[in-house]
Amino acid sequence: MLRSNLALFALPLLIACGGNGGTDSPEVTADTTATEAFQWEADRFADVQVLRYRIPGWDQLSLQQKELAYYLTQAGLAGRDIMWDQNHRHNLKVRRMLEKVIKDYPGERSGADWEHFMTYAKEVFFANGIHHHYGNQKFTPEFPRAYLEDVMAASGASLPAEVVDLLFDPELDAKKVSLAADADLVQASAVNFYGPGLTQAEVEAYYSAIERPDDPKPLSYGINSQVVKQDGQVLEKVWKVGGMYDAALREVVKWLEKAQGVAENPQQAKAIGLLIAYYNTGDLKTWDDFNVAWVEDTTSTVDFIHGFVEVYNDPLGKKGSYESIVEVTDPEATRNMQVIQKNAQWFEDHSPLMDTHKKENVVGITYRFINTVGESGDASPSTPIGVNLPNANWIRAEHGSKSVSLGNIVDAYDNSRGSSTLEVFCHDEEEIARAKEHSTLAGKLHTALHEVVGHASGRL
């Protein structure tokens, strides 16, 4: 999955239509004056630029498709607190404190300390926690501890002393994910996939005992659980209805059931039903069944990504972070890029790989340009610009994969950036002009080649 370091808030696309006293007028397209007038940037703080994005094609959806997109988006939002808790065990406490202060603080909302407090709050909101969304380092408050204690007291907010210590002590949980070669990765990482007192060796021994290396269709062991030690025994707490994250997942299931009722076709309804069953049971075979059904749904206009998916936040590469993306197909851009999809075998045959690592038959690549409707969890606010799923190699080999480029996200980025970077790195005015003219298309081609040819090619 490709990720940009951007926060994006969804706004509907407004189409401007000409009118002249009842006489016929040509339609004004959204890519002219509407694009120029649209305010792409919502905020800027620390190292973050917050952008808005539009949803081209929303008005062309049927009422049922809009209802489906709404239910799927609500299902994603219902689980957003899971991502906060996965990132750190105290994140939700910190977020609620920040929200309480921002809402109820009666004192002076100006001055250096208040500005530093607001910047810190925005950093935490953006990162879904107290660690940087990309660099993994813990944020350092630039206001004194006494100031935080004062504004909390005045707002009726509170934090346990150990959590306040955590915020201000740079040595405590300094990295969300540590990949240091000389460290115990479980103990050196602050992420909440592993309980206190566990070691990397204990976790690896636990999974070595249950995994089947000779299984041609291996399950995604550990993808949906926290590993803890209780009474000296290592065990899993499964993320499911009736298990860990019960309340949030019940809400997720409620909205998914509504979505299933307005699915576009039987295949999509089947996939949503399997996702519901997976959340209800935590069964890993059902997770695979869902991914197969999902990847075989290639005709729906409204599509989605939902689950404990990417494992980048786990230092051991097993635990899936909660995420949701709801999307609608951009038919014109998809048609333009399908030439890459249709010629994937040519790219495979001519790639600079050993023949033993080339696929003889590249199966089932589905590539589409889509426009994002809503995101949550690991996909928000820092959003991917391209996605290739599922991650299970055997499903990709036997059933194919879906590759998508998030077109309106890329457009938001392209329309928001100035020319300063080009002026620094380009050789001359001719190169700057060429970049301005072709960089948007080149960027989309780069993403398409990465997602379709890169992810879908090669064999182990």
Same domain, 67 and 117: no
- Mean pLDDT on 346-370: 82
Determine how many CB atoms are found less than 10 A away from the CB of residue 285: 12
Domain end residue (candidates: 168, 190, 225): 168
Q: Residue 73 domain-assigned?
A: yes
Domain end residue (candidates: 114, 135, 168): 168
Same domain, 380 and 286: yes
Same domain, 110 and 145: yes
Q: Residue 13 domain-assigned?
A: yes
Same domain, 26 and 163: no
* pTM score, whole prediction: 0.85
Residue identified by tokens 């992810």 is: 455
Same domain, 299 and 159: no
Same domain, 358 and 282: yes
Q: What interhelical angle do 246-261 and 63-78 show, nearest 10?
A: 170
> So what's the pLDDT on residue 418?
65
Q: Residue 14 domain-assigned?
A: yes
- Output the six-digit token pair for 347: 């790219």
pLDDT digits (tens, 9 = 90+) for 188-229: 999 999 999 999 999 999 999 999 999 999 999 999 999 999
Q: Residue 357 domain-assigned?
A: yes
- Output the six-digit token pair for 312: 């980048």
φ/ψ of residue 317, rounded to 5: 70, 30
Domain span holding position 116? 89-168
> So what's the pLDDT on residue 430?
92
Same domain, 271 and 125: no
Same domain, 67 and 102: no
Q: Residue 233 domain-assigned?
A: no
> So what's the pLDDT on residue 16?
28
Contact 344, 358 (CB under 8 A): no
**Count of the separate structural domains present in the chain:** 2
Q: Residue 338 domain-assigned?
A: yes
Domain end residue (candidates: 146, 168, 190): 168
Distance CA 421, CA 418 (A): 7
HSE value, Cβ hemisphere, 13 Å, CA-based, for 222: 23
pLDDT at 59 over 50: yes
Residue count of the chain, please give it.
460
For the chain, the first-to-last Cα distance in angstroms comes to 19
Contact 386, 402 (CB under 8 A): no
